[in-house]
């Protein structure tokens, strides 16, 4: 899994522009958290060009991937399947994740998609939105497939829509924050020791559990998706906790929300002290 540290993403090579201020240059970026349901391929390509984003992890729906493959230059994105999908339909958007109405993709179909390279990773896995633990036994065939094909897997761990179980617009009455505790993945990682897992949203706000999982399992990583749009003090505190515990090299950049990309990658100025 490609890794971008905060230093490489934001601070390396900064140049002075005036007394007390420095401005970050347009460094090459890999965005590890983009959704095919958050805008068109053309909009994403324009964003990539503007912000020097070279490559994206595209968590998406199977019917979307051919469209993106046609619209984006070859080798610019990784096709990663979102799952599970209740009755085969994606959350937030009324669209199919795959053929049929099963909550989980057919493993025979998925194996063929992986073999041909039409799907190259799994995730975002977001069972917590539906009240399902990431340790649920129904995921076992997918962990095994990822390990067999040496695929990275991204798992929703932390931030989600606020008040998700209360607001009808989300239609997620079973959403449970307790199911975002990263230590729920420990037995999964011990059963599948070659599995590479990316914790989307960096396990926020479960800092202690996130640090514990990273400490115990060398193939676990975190991304920063959506955290940039929350209160900055809390975001920095979580981030600082990961770095101060020695895990800066396992943090990758992720946007998740399109409006968060530019502010995260193009700060107007960074204080020198």
Domain ranges of the chain: 28-265
Structure confidence at residue 96 as a pLDDT band (50, 70, 90) = very high
d(CA 38, CA 179): 25
Provide the token pair at 47. 């964003």
Q: Measured between alpha carbons, how far is residue 221 from residues 88, 131, 170, 264 in Å?
A: 28, 24, 28, 19
- pLDDT bin (cut points 50, 70, 90) of residue 159 is confident
For the residues 137-158, what does the mean pLDDT come to? 97
CA–CA dist 166, 81 (Å, integer) = 27
Distances 206 to 157, 167, 239, 241 between C-alpha atoms, Å: 9, 23, 12, 11
List b or e across 61-88, with b for residues whose CB sees 16 or more CB atoms inside 10 angstroms. bbebbeebeeebeeebbbbbbbbbbbeb
Average of per-residue pLDDT across 41-60: 96
Confidence check: pLDDT of 18 > 50: no
Q: What is the pTM (predicted TM-score) of this model?
A: 0.88
Pick one of 3.90.1660.10, 3.40.1190.20, 3.40.47.10, 3.20.20.140 as the CATH number of 28-265: 3.20.20.140
- H helices of the chain, where? 6, 41-51, 65-71, 107-116, 140-148, 186-191, 207-216, 232-244, 258-265
Would you say 242 and 211 are in contact if contact means Cβ atoms under 8 Å apart?
yes
Confidence at residue 16, expressed as pLDDT on a 0 to 100 scale: 31
Helix (H, G, I), strand (E, B) or coil at 140: helix
What is d(CA 177, CA 162) in angstroms, rounded to the nearest whole number?
A: 10
Q: What is the pLDDT of residue 264?
A: 84
Round to whole Å and give the CA distance between 25 and 210: 31
Digit-coded pLDDT (tens) for 225-269: 999 888 989 999 999 999 999 999 999 999 999 988 988 886 553
Average pLDDT of the chain is 89
Please give the average per-residue pLDDT across 135-157, as a whole number: 98
Is pLDDT above 60 for 188? yes
- The CA–CA distances, whole Å, from 247 to 103, 162, 199, 217, 230 equal 35, 27, 13, 12, 22
Half-sphere exposure of 1 (CA within 13 A, CB side): 30
Q: Does the structure show a pLDDT above 70 at 94? A: yes
Which pLDDT does position 85 carry in this prediction? 98
- The confidence score (pLDDT) of residue 99 equals 97
Give φ, ψ of 35 to 5 degrees. -110, 135
Q: 29 or 22: which carries more pLDDT confidence? A: 29
pLDDT > 90 fraction of the chain, expressed in percent and rounded: 81
């Amino acid at each position: 899994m490609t890794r971008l540290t905060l230093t490489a993403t934001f601070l390396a090579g900064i140049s002075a522009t005036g007394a007390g201020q420095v401005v970050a240059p347009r460094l090459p970026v890999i965005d590890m958290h983009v959704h095919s349901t958050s805008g068109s391929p053309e909009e994403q390509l324009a964003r990539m060009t503007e912000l020097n984003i070279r490559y994206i992890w595209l968590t998406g729906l199977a019917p979307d991937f051919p469209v993106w493959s046609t619209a984006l230059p070859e080798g610019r994105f990784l096709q990663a399947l979102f799952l599970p999908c209740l009755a085969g339909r994606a959350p937030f958007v009324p669209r199919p994740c795959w053929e049929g109405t099963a909550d989980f993709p057919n493993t025979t179909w998925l194996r063929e998609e992986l073999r041909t390279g039409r799907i190259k990773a799994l995730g975002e896995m977001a069972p917590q939105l539906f009240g399902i633990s990431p340790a649920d036994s129904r995921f076992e065939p997918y962990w095994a497939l990822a390990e067999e094909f040496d695929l990275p897997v991204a798992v929703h761990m932390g931030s989600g829509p606020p008040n998700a179980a209360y607001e009808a617009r989300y239609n997620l009455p079973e959403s449970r924050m307790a199911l975002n505790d990263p230590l729920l993945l420990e037995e999964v990682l011990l059963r599948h020791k070659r599995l590479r897992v990316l914790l989307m949203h960096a396990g926020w706000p479960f800092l202690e559990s996130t640090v514990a999982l990273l400490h115990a399992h060398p193939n676990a990583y975190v991304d920063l998706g959506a955290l940039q749009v929350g209160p900055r003090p809390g975001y920095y505190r979580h981030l600082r906790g990961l770095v101060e515990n020695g895990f800066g090299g396992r943090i990758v950049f992720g946007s998740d929300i399109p409006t968060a990309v530019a502010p995260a990658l193009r700060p107007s100025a960074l204080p020198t002290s």
